[in-house]
Amino acid sequence: MMPGPPDWTFGNMNDEKPAKAGQQGATQGVGTAMPHGNLTACRLTSLPAPLLAEMEFLGRESLGRSAPNRWMLPVIASWGLFYVAKVDSEVIGSAQIIRCLERGDLYMDAFYIRPFYRRAGYGKAFLVELTKQLGKLGFKRLLATMDPGKRAAVRLYAGAGFDVIDNLPDYYGQGRHRFLIAASLVVI
């Protein structure tokens, strides 16, 4: 059975980690105060060998065996939209985006923030910045799939303006259901 729609409010979560020191009062977004330094989102169009190795490592660190490997990462960088989130010169997260042929929407995969930087607003700030940058490129909608059982992802996407638009039963194999989610892109 496909689980029902997620409870976006999650009023009774008792497995939350405490907020990181310095989180109080921090605002989210580029150019605003963030606990470990401001976030910038940059598009990579090629991956020189050391960066390819780093991105493969960081992907595995956050996504395990579902991370895109060294054969897929350059393909996305060259032919899709490969973004990294940076604090100063350090890569702290990534998102990989392809264009949906049928509708002209974008589809995002492999979104992550490195473990050390989590629970500090960087995931949301990165997503919000991505929706602005992709909107500027003229795209109207960003799609993604979400594991309804993953509370961090559910809250992240809900807070960044995504809505559930479809159920995808057994999307990643039997019992591995996903929700299809979408956010309107900000046209500036």
Ligand X SMILES: CC(C)(COP(=O)(O)OP(=O)(O)OC[C@H]1O[C@@H](n2cnc3c(N)ncnc32)[C@H](O)[C@@H]1OP(=O)(O)O)[C@@H](O)C(=O)NCCC(=O)NCCS
| Binding residues for ligand X (CB under 6 A) | 13, 16, 62-63, 111-113, 118-124, 146-147, 150-153, 155-156, 159
Distance CA 185, CA 133 (A): 9
CB of 29 to ligand X, least distance (A): 11
Query: Closer to ligand X at the Cβ: 11 or 48?
Result: 11
Dist. CA 91–CA 83, nearest whole Å: 10
Q: Which of 88, 97, 146, 96 is nearest to 117 (CA)?
A: 88
Q: How far is the CB of 1 from ligand X (least distance, A)?
A: 21
How far are the Cα atoms of 76, 176, 178 from residue 173, in angstroms, in the given order? 24, 5, 10
Q: Which residue is nearest to ligand X (CB)?
A: 123
Distance of closest approach, residue 6 Cβ to ligand X, in angstroms = 12
Q: Which is nearer to ligand X, 80 or 159 (CB)?
A: 159
**Smallest separation, CB 118 to ligand X (Å):** 3
* Residue number with CB closer to ligand X (13 or 165): 13
For residue 37, how many C-alpha atoms fall within 13 Å in the half-sphere facing its CB? Answer: 11
Nearer to ligand X, 19 or 187 (CB): 19
Q: Closer to ligand X at the Cβ: 118 or 177?
A: 118
Residue 30 or 138 with smaller CB distance to ligand X: 30
Q: Measured from the CB of residue 26, what is the shortest distance to ligand X in angstroms?
A: 10
* Residue 142 CB coordination number (10 Å): 24
Q: C-beta of 138: minimal distance to ligand X in Å? A: 25
